[in-house]
Amino acid sequence: MSTITQNEALDTPSDLKEKGREKVAEALNRLVADAFALYIKTKNYHWHMSGRHFRDYHLLLDEQADQIFATIDPLAERVRKIGGNTIRSVAHIAQLQRVKDNDEDFVAPKDMLTDLIAENKKMAKNMRDAHKICDEAEDVATASLLEVYIDETERRTWFLFETTRDLN
């Protein structure tokens, strides 16, 4: 009977160079952490929305949160497909996330939407930066996945921007 070490058990085979895989996995783990944090922030604002446009904003943010959440598993699984290890805890997310938490008791609706515009713009930039790392590593599968998510993030930004245009 053979004994398999922990590293051997999780060592997924790949034809990508190890150094490139490590860089891609690191970039993706940061995106996974960002997606978790942006999901929570979007849900926070969804739950605490108020005012005359409550229903529209509440539904918009719920839809956007669902879309963000849907990116997490494919990104994390991509890390595993290329042989990396991914997020293991909330503390790990907190270490890696670039999305700023908002723990205020009250945030005005316009401020919520403006904050989400900024966070989604940063998310798109971080995805583009990760895409460059994928290109350098010749990881076309991850790059293709990111292209879809960049487009979705830009759409979220656009919808949030258009929603804030008529607010005082």
For the segment 112-135, the average pLDDT, to the nearest whole number, is 98
**Res 150 pLDDT > 80:** yes
**pLDDT value of position 2:** 61
pLDDT in tens, 26-76: 999 999 999 999 999 999 999 999 999 999 999 999 999 999 999 999 999
**Res 25 pLDDT > 70:** yes
More confident residue, 163 or 168: 163
Can you list the domains of the chain with their CATH numbers? 15-164 (1.20.1260.10)
Residue type, 126: N
**pLDDT value of position 21:** 93
**pLDDT value of position 3:** 62
Average of per-residue pLDDT values in the chain: 93
For the segment 82-102, the average pLDDT, to the nearest whole number, is 97
